[in-house]
A and B are shown apart, each in its own frame.
Chain A
Amino acid sequence: MVDDSTRKTLSNIPLLQIRAGPREKDIWVQRLKEEYQALIKYVENNKQSGSDWFRLESNKEGTKWFGKCWYMHNLLKYEFDVEFDIPVTYPTTAPEIALPELDGKTAKMYRGGKICLTDHFKPLWARNVPKFGIAHAMALGLAPWLAVEVPDLIEKGIITYKDNC
C-alpha cells in the first residue's frame, strides 16, 4: 500500500497526458517534454520541502536516463548512480530503475542492479497509464526502495559512508 506521505508527494507531481513510446518518433518528443516538466516540478517540490534526493538526465532521444540519487541516514549522505532505459513498450510498462553499484549486494535486486519493486507498484502503474511518468516511477519505486534497503545495507556494513570532501 502507498503511505500518506508518498500519496501527498505523488499528488503534487503533474500527471502526463500523451500516450507515446520511444518508437513513435513524433509524439514521443511531446511525451518527453511532459516527462521533463513533471521531473522539474518534482525536483522543485523536493527542494522546497527539504527532501531533495535525486538528479536525472537523458540522452537526446530520451531513451537512456542516468543520474544520481542519495539517501540521508544519521546525518550522513549516501549517494548512488541511477540508470535505466525506456522500454519499447513504455509507458504501458514502467522503466526498470537500476543502481548498478549495488548489484549483488542485496537480494532485493534483479540482474544488473534493477531494483525489486513491491507487488503494489506494477498494478498501480498499470492503472495509471499513461498518466504516470518517470517522476512517478522515482517517487513510487526508487524512493521507498532506498528508504527500506539503504539503512539495512548500512547496518549490515555492506555499504559504508564515503567522505567526498
Chain B
Amino acid sequence: MSTAIDELQAIIAELKTELEEQKTSTRNARERIERMSAEVVDSNPYSRLMALQRMNIVKDYERIRDKAVAIVGVGGVGSVTADMLTRCGIGKLILFDYDKVELANMNRLFFTPDQAGLSKVEAAARTLSFINPDVRIETHNYNITTVENFDKFLTTISECGIQKGQPVDLVLSCVDNFEARMAINAACNENNLNWFESGVSENAVSGHIQFIRPGDTACFACAPPLVVAENIDERTLKREGVCAASLPTTMGITAGLLVQNALKYLLNFGEVSDYLGYNALNDFFPKMTLKPNTECDDRFCLQRQKEFRARPQPKEQQEDEVVSNEPVHASNDWGIELVAEDTPVEQQLTNTTNVVTGLRLAYDAPDKVTVKQAENAAAVDAGVPETSLEELMAQMKSM
C-alpha cells in the first residue's frame, strides 16, 4: 500500500516538473533583445529584416521599434496583420476587438482551435508575445462604436503611442462593418491621425485597402465606400441562409497588401497606394486616389482639409484626381447602371465621383442640394408647441 502511494507521488512529482518545463518553454521561447542586430546568424531573428538596409531598400530598419500601430478588429485580416507586424519587430501594437474566437473562424489564419472561447485580443496577445517578445502589446476588449467606449478609444489612439502622451503612428482598420469604420474615421479625423481602411467583400472574392490622410485624401465619410466591382449579377448572388462567406486566401492577401503599405509608410520606402483593390476572380488590382469631398458631413474632415490647403505642398503635386492608366468609364463591362429607387423619401441619384475601371461606389451618394433644402425647410416650421423629452418618453412607455 505505502509503496503504491510512494510510486504515485513520484509520478506526480515527475509530471509536475514536466509541466513546469512545458510552461516555461512555451512562454519564453527567447529572451528580449535590446537592439536589432544585422549579424547574419541562424539565431538572430532580425537578420533577414536588417538585410533590407544592406540591399538599399530601407534606410535604418530599426526605426520600426519606435513605431506604435493600433489594429482595430482582430479577425481574419487583423490577426494576420498583427502577426506580420510582430514578426517585423514593430515597437508597439494596440489591439481592439470585442469578439471571441470561435471554431467558425478556423477557415481563416492565425487562431487555433484550442483558443476557441478566449477573447480574440487575449488569444492574439499570447501568440504574438510568444512569436516576438520584443513587441509591446496592449489589448482592449470592447466595441468602439458605443458612446462610452468611443471616448476610451479616442484617448488610447491619441495618447498611448511609443512615448506616453504621444499618438500612435498609424491606425489600421480591420473591422467587418460600416459602423466601426465610420467610428474609426471620426476618431482619426478628430485626432488628425493617418489610417488605413481595409476590407474583404462578404462573398470573399475581393478585397481592398485605402490610405486615409485627413484633409489630404478622401475620408471614409467623404463618399460612399469604394468597392471592387465583381461583375456578379446581384440577382444571381445567393445569400440565402448566410451573412458572409470568407476565404483564408483573400483575407491573407488583403492583410499582406495592408501591412506592405503600412511598412512603406512607416519606414519611408517605395510608394504607398492610396486605394488598392483586389479582384480575386480575375486577379485584377485597380488603383486610384480619392480627393476629399469639400462638402463632407464630418466637420473635422472639413477642418483638416482647410489645414491641408494652408500647408505648403511638397514636391510633385498630383493634379489628376484619378491616378491610373485605365480609362475612366471606357466601357461598362461591370454592368454598372443607375437604377432609380422609387420610395418617395429618397433623393434623386447623383454620381459625380469618377471611379476607375474595376471599382464602383457601394451605393450612390445622396443629392446634397435636396438634402440641404429639406433641412432648411425643416428649420422654418419649428414653431410647433414644445413637448419635453420626459413627456415623450412617458407617452411612449404608456402605449
A residues apposed to B, CB below 8 Å: 1-2, 7, 10-11, 15, 17-19, 22-23, 29, 32-33, 36-37, 39-40, 43-44, 47, 55-58, 60-63, 85-89, 92-93, 96, 107-111, 116, 119, 122-124, 126-132
Contacts and interface: CB of A to CB of B under 8 A. Distances in A.
A29 B389 contact: yes
Given A22-B147, A107-B243, A123-B363, A11 B346 contact: no
Interface of B: 99, 143, 145-147, 150, 177-179, 182-183, 185-186, 221, 224, 234, 239, 241-243, 297, 341-347, 362-366, 374-375, 378-379, 387, 389, 392-393, 395-397, 399
Given A2-B343, A89-B186, A127 B364 contact: yes
Contacts of A58: 393
Contacts of B185: 89
Contacts of A1: 341
From DSSP, what is the main secondary structure of chain B's interface residues? loop
A49 to B, nearest CB: 15
B326 to A, nearest CB: 25
Contact of B242 (A108, A128, A129): A108
Contacts, number: 128
28 contacts: A1-B341, A2-B341, A7-B343, A7-B344, A10-B343, A15-B345, A17-B374, A23-B150, A32-B389, A36-B392, A36-B395, A37-B392, A40-B396, A40-B399, A47-B399, A56-B396, A57-B396, A85-B143, A85-B147, A87-B179, A88-B150, A92-B297, A93-B179, A111-B99, A124-B343, A127-B347, A127-B365, A128-B345
Given A19-B375, A88-B145, A123-B363, A43 B399 contact: yes
A40 B23 CA distance: 60
Contact of B183 (A40, A55, A88): A88
Nearest to B144: A88
